[in-house]
Amino acid sequence: MSLELSELKQTVVDTLNEKFNDDIIEVYQSTGDVYIQVKPSSIVSVCTLLRDELSYIYLSDIFGIDRYTSEERFEVVYNLVSLKNGDRLFLKVRCEEENPQVESLSGVFKAANWFEREVFDMFGIKFSNHPDLRRMFMPEDFQYFPLRKEFPLLGIPGSIELPSTTPDSE
């Protein structure tokens, strides 16, 4: 790849390419940030290396994306920060529409616990080996995932009991 990267980011990309060459799918830069797409099977190893050897010790966020495509429909994006270097890096993994699943990072970053639960609740992406993968916002028996693109903007009538809009009489 011939990207114009800062020396620090080039070091990170070179280290990852050296250790995970076959698992790095794409590296690109957008708005000053570097995005690295990796194979889902290597996300735990890549994040462990980033934490232990390259000082990316802070997991700022994990979010899901519904690409609404026929292949690799869902994407999970990890926002990692090196407090030592003041640098940010985004890792991405993609998974299929049928049984979307990624390995949990809760053993690498404790903060991943809540972020992964949120992605599971809103997109239905499961995180294997997660210590407590259950819904956060929606009821446990809710069968839908509100941030998927096919979910109706007004919701599904009757799927959740809503509070009454009429004032209570005293």
Residue 167 lies in a domain: no
Residue 45 lies in a domain: yes
Q: What pLDDT score does 1 carry?
A: 45
| Mean model confidence pLDDT for the chain | 91
User: For the chain, what is the domain count?
Assistant: 1
Of 77, 89, 90, the closest CA to residue 116 belongs to: 77
- SS3 sequence of 3-35: CCCCHHHHHHHHHHHHHHHHHEEEEEEECCEEE
Residue 82 lies in a domain: yes
For residue 56, pLDDT beyond 70: yes
- pLDDT digits 0-9 by tens, 73-87: 999 999 999 999 999
Q: What pLDDT score does 170 carry?
A: 56
Residue 93 lies in a domain: yes
62 strand-pairing partners: 78
Residue 60 lies in a domain: yes
What is the span of the domain harbouring residue 26?
A: 7-102
> What separation in angstroms does the CA of 88 have from each of 1, 59, 77, 96, 164?
19, 10, 13, 27, 45
Which of the residue ranges 13-17, 58-62, 83-87, 153-157 has the most confident prediction, judged by mean pLDDT? 58-62
Top-confidence residue, 19 or 151: 19
Q: What pLDDT score does 48 carry?
A: 98
- Please give the angle made by the CA atoms of 100, 29 and 77, to the nearest 5 degrees: 25
Residue 151 lies in a domain: no
Question: pLDDT band for position 169 (50/70/90)?
Answer: low
- Structure-block tokens of residue 79: 């926002």
Q: What pLDDT score does 54 carry?
A: 95
Q: What pLDDT score does 152 carry?
A: 73
Give percent of the chain with pLDDT exceeding 70: 95
CATH classification of the domain holding 30: 3.30.460.80
For residue 99, pLDDT beyond 50: yes
Residue 148 lies in a domain: no
Question: pLDDT band for position 103 (50/70/90)?
Answer: very high
- pLDDT digits 0-9 by tens, 118-154: 999 999 999 999 999 999 999 888 888 999 998 877 6
Residue 136 lies in a domain: no
